Homo-oligomer: A and B are copies of this chain.
Amino acid sequence: MDPRLDRDTSNCSIARTLEVVGEKWTILILREVWYGTSRFSDFERVLGCPRNLLAARLRMLVDEGILATETYKEPGSRSRPKYVITPKGMDLVPAVLGLLQWGDRYRADPEGPAVLARHRACGAHVDVQIRCEQGHAVQADDIESVPGPAFRMKPAG
């Protein structure tokens, strides 16, 4: 019996990230924030997401420090809240760009993707790559996974 099958998977970083961003609408909200949307009614309009879920997801993202609230003021209206991304939220961009990249390759319309991501400085298309600390480009099957400092086995057999 492979002992890895009895490892404790409750502290897996993938699972823990999915606890935060794995619910429906969450990543799509982040996509919109990343595209520049910041107001409640604008999220509702572009996503078609129910208001109660939108409010719940935004609150959770703010609680987690992925979004932060600021205020904006239209002339003739009172101040209202808006949502902006934090550095912690920006650190999710590689993961989301990884999803975008896979969808572009395997699930795009025949004419191509709906959105292109490019480097502001040079205009070239961007993608995510796996690299090692030595700076080598790494293929997915050249990665090996080894137990880390928090590795442990399941409590009881």
Interface residues of A in 80-103 (CB under 8 A from B): 88, 90-103
Q: Which of B31, B125, B126, B143 contacts A120 (CB 8 A)?
A: B143
Contact status of A143 and B35, CB under 8 A, knowing A45-B5, A136-B122, A150-B111: no
Tell me if A's interface is mostly helix, strand, loop or mixed.
Answer: mixed
Query: What residues of chain B lie closer than 8 Å to A105, measured between beta carbons?
Result: 91
Please provide the chain A residues from 38 to 86 with a CB less than 8 Å away from any CB of chain B in the complex: 42, 45-47
Q: How many copies does the complex hold?
A: 2
Cβ contact within 8 Å between B142 and A119: yes
Contacts of A140 in B (CB 8 A): 90-91, 93-94
Given A47-B9, A88-B106, A118 contacting B144 (CB threshold 8 A): yes
Chain B residues with CB under 8 A of A118:
132, 143-146
Report B-chain residues with C-beta under 8 Å of the C-beta of A117: 143-145
Given known A134-B122, A140-B91, contact A113–B45 (CB-CB < 8 A): no
28 contacts between A and B (CB under 8 A): A6-B46, A8-B114, A9-B47, A11-B109, A13-B103, A13-B104, A13-B107, A13-B108, A14-B27, A17-B103, A17-B107, A20-B107, A35-B145, A90-B140, A94-B102, A95-B102, A113-B148, A114-B147, A115-B151, A117-B145, A118-B145, A118-B146, A119-B136, A120-B144, A121-B142, A125-B133, A128-B128, A128-B129
